[in-house]
Amino acid sequence: MHVSSQERTTITEQTTAGFRRDLDRLSPDDRASVVETLRHSYDLLRVSPHSFFARAQRPLPIHLKGGLNSSLYSLRAGREIRLIMAVDDDPVFGQTLVTLFRAVRHDELERSYRSIAHLLYRNQIERTNGAR
């Protein structure tokens, strides 16, 4: 199915200080991988959101109160780098808001993801079996 440019969703990117700091610390090759991953991912979000979400991962389950879903995801950018981002649909303005939180090494992903989830959702995360 062909999607006309008028029907394509606008992607609005926001970056956090943490993401910008992480990006500055990456090698030129890793930085290029991040840029290419984001370009390709934004193209998918515009024309085939289902394909984007098939690639995006949630390294840890986040159960929010009231049955709400987390918009926090991670994407692989090359062999070692993982991007942590929130992807929120804004149908009123016909856009998808992507907030880039971190660009971390794969071995730092779970810790960083958990930390961002707690910052974003504070008291909205359901506790199960005493888990935090």
Digit-coded pLDDT (tens) for 18-62: 999 999 999 999 999 999 999 999 999 999 999 999 999 888 767
Between the alpha carbon of residue 41 and those of residues 49, 88, 95, 132, the distances in Å are 9, 14, 15, 31
Which CATH code of 3.40.50.300, 3.40.50.1100, 3.30.360.10, 3.30.2310.20 fits the domain covering 10-124?
3.30.2310.20
pTM here? 0.83
Segments making up each domain of the chain, as ranges: 10-124
103 sits in which H/E element: strand 95-105
Measure the CA angle with vertex 9, ends 6 and 15; round to 5°: 140
